[in-house]
Chains A and B, each alone.
Chain A
Amino acid sequence: MPALNRLTCCSCIITKASQSAKCPNLTFVRFRKPVWVKKSPSRIYRVREPTPIDPIEAQKMMEWTRVYNTEVKSIRKKIHQHQETLDEIMKIEKFETPFDIVFENILARNNAWNEETSKQRLASMAILSEEDALRQEKMIQRDIREREEIHMAARKQVLEAQEMKDSYVTPDNIDDVIEELLNTRIDYDFSINHDGSTSIDQNDDENDDLNVDKTDNKTDS
């Protein structure tokens, strides 16, 4: 356990030997027995040395504590007396003043507090209502905008369909379309480059119509 004799403290490395000289308040816990282990015989009757007390410091401390205690005691007494006088005044007022006047005073204080809080409440509600109104307006405008976009998209689709309707296949021209279809062929076997240009593999002849015999390649099931 090499690290136990050394400790990093305040960015400086301190050894156990130099502890008492430089940092007397640091303690090192090297090893601690568990609670259930019995005390060793050498330590059963061990008596700790009393901590050294400076007599001059002790005397000064006792003097200061005496002064402090008297001052605190006087303050507490003063506060207690003040509270007692207030209680007596309250008792006298309670018996001498009639209930109506007391009730009126309480009511006046309550009404004043109510008015103050209602002003604050109305101000905060006004702010909230403004925000709500703004939000509602934005939502309505967004709905209108979205509906207009949907209408525009639908109108565009209808116009495109109207333009292309002449090229559609109908029951009237289906024979001609199929005739032309069987005579032509489209090939999608090409690749697209990054710039959008297409390139065709010239060596791919697997699916060439001219090279393959069009027979029904049935296999025995």
Chain B
Amino acid sequence: MEDDNWQWHMYDTVKGSDWLGDQDAIHYMTREAPKAVIELENYGMPFSRTTDGKIYQRAFGGQSLKFGKGGQAHRCCCVADRTGHSLLHTLYGQSLRYDCNYFIEYFALDLIMEDGECRGVIALSLEDGSIHRIRAKNTVLATGGYGRAYFSCTSAHTCTGDGTAMVARAGLPSQDLEFVQFHPTGIYGAGCLITEGCRGEGGYLINSQGERFMERYAPVAKDLASRDVVSRSMTIEIREGRGCGPEKDHVYLQLHHLPAEQLHTRLPGISETAMIFAGVDVTREPIPVLPTVHYNMGGVPTNYKGQVLTTVNDQDTVVRGLYACGEAASSSVHGANRLGANSLLDLVVFGRACAKTIAEEHKPGESIGSIKENAGEASVANLDWCRHANGSIPTANLRLQMQKTMQTHAAVFRTEETLKEGCAKMDKLYSNLKDLKVSDSSLIWNSDLVETLELQNLMLNAVQTIVGAENRKESRGAHAREDYKTRIDEYDYSKPVEGQQKKPFDQHWRKHTLTTVDEKTGKVSIRYRPVIDHTLDSNECATVPPAIRSY
């Protein structure tokens, strides 16, 4: 591949985040990235290879050379199109070398907090219905996102925001939940993901006129522009009547101009997925695709070391004993929009950062603070209530109503009217949680009960998302508002900064949203936190000043 530099990746990530990302965390992640990949390869991850035996790298969205001026970068290391699957199996296999104790099919109900410190979790074992309080000096949340709050998402059924919900119930804030990424290429209908790697290998999107429309919206990067840009472009094409299919409600991803051999070697997984879920032979026909909910940029706020933060008198304060990483966290490397491939990187770098921080600050055998006799009582009470809930709305019904509301009112393009309506509907749906009906009262593997607990978790995430979206009166990254079309920063970066008056903190939007929820009423409270612009070491990596974002 061509010459590359981690500082260029750092620039791409800051730009991709629409300057809402914390540059110290981004500096950390991009600097550690090459080491993380080598470490994974040493663990046995079966990366695809080039003819000289080195790790194969492909182009991915939003990745450029020379700070955006040198064309498309090919820096994304991959295992065909199954990198995530391979990463999971490699890390799981490695974990078996150590004395990792897995509590398989235990559902974590809540954090056990004492004196503002996290001292463990209380969890339900599905296998026999027993409840366990697990005391721990350090708890790391790696619970993923909450794509299932929407009707159509690429996420698995288990993506129900359990970690962010536990944090909300503990009275701690979540950050930037209004930023929900719509991945450009989810299969129309099923919602299964077609990786961005397709466009990285040379595939492109076409409308009903057979036009490669991304050339108009992103002249330089075209189909490999940042995901929010592509999703918006696709939505506009469909809205303006150039959608494909009988309902003209999706567009096509074309791959059949690529050699069949390349598709077979580099993209075997999606070739199979496209056949199974869309009945399409990618060597001959295009795949019908639609922007689909895929990732949550927001989550539990942390610093670059993985420690969970809250604010006390507007000062960042570490919550002792609690860490978060991955999609559940907001460190924030992704800011208002995440670049493709940065999530898998985020997982390994910050997962490791949590471990390193814990190892640096603690020794094995340290005593854990005590917990009250009745710690976790509220969780048990809720569990019991759910198990015997005999209202009028079955869990599946209420969940579907929530999903349809979020899909309609917190979509790719948002307006004041639809958001306000959405907030009101979500408020009503939240209060309907009191009227749930659970049919299965068994103790062993009660999936009806667990889906109900998950619905409670989804609701907490959903209300924070939609209230946060209605509140943010600008467009930034994945949060696109038709009534506030531009970014509102502390300076107007479309003009020279010199001579401009800097806007005070409360009059611009280049800041993180922090939301908390009252568990009983669903009422969301909002406060803010500044974006971290300084890097870890300005000699090693300079801050990227804000600029207008175009591809």
Are A and B physically bound partners? Answer: no
Q: Which residues of chain B have a CB within 8 Å of any CB of chain A?
A: none
